[in-house]
Amino acid sequence: MNAFSRPREFAPPGRSPPASLTQLLRQVAEERGISAADLKGRARAPAIAAARQIFMARAYATGRFSLPQIGRFLKRHHTTILYGVRTHAGKEERGFAPASPQRLEQIANNDPARDARGAGIPSRGPQSECGGRGFEQ
């Protein structure tokens, strides 16, 4: 699924689709253990920014909210929302998207549904002697 593949409705297992952006914001905030005010605010801490990107991607995936509508809700430009949607989609594609509470539970319970590496967390890959930046000496 790419950043522009929009299923009709998005809802985590066992939940009905959100009726509004406010409801979706509260849902993501609750899942991530972050306040709704922080998600809507200007904080750029990695955990908050990642949760905000999850919100952007889920809101856009519902198909009921446009990028400008989501942007107005968060008081951000619609291109910022597009960046967040694409970034989250890229993280999901590469396996770097923040794990959902259900996924963390699967990992903790040693569920066979976890990925082939066994840890549920992607490796960083081989690194060079100079700190993994790809510079050759």
In CATH, the architecture of 21-108 is Orthogonal Bundle (1.10)
pLDDT at 79: 96
Q: Where are the domains of the chain?
A: 21-108
Contact status, residue 63 vs residue 9, Cβ threshold 8 Å: yes
Which tens digit of pLDDT belongs to each residue from 108-125? 676 555 444 444 444 445
pLDDT at 22: 95
pLDDT range class, residue 103, cuts 50, 70, 90: low
CA-closest candidate to residue 75, choices 97, 93, 52: 52
Q: Which has more confidence, 124 or 106? A: 106
Helices 78-94 & 67-74 angle (0-180, nearest 10): 100
Which tens digit of pLDDT belongs to each residue from 17-65? 667 999 999 999 999 999 999 999 999 999 999 999 999 999 999 899 9
Q: Which has more confidence, 91 or 111? A: 91
pLDDT at 90: 87
pLDDT range class, residue 73, cuts 50, 70, 90: very high
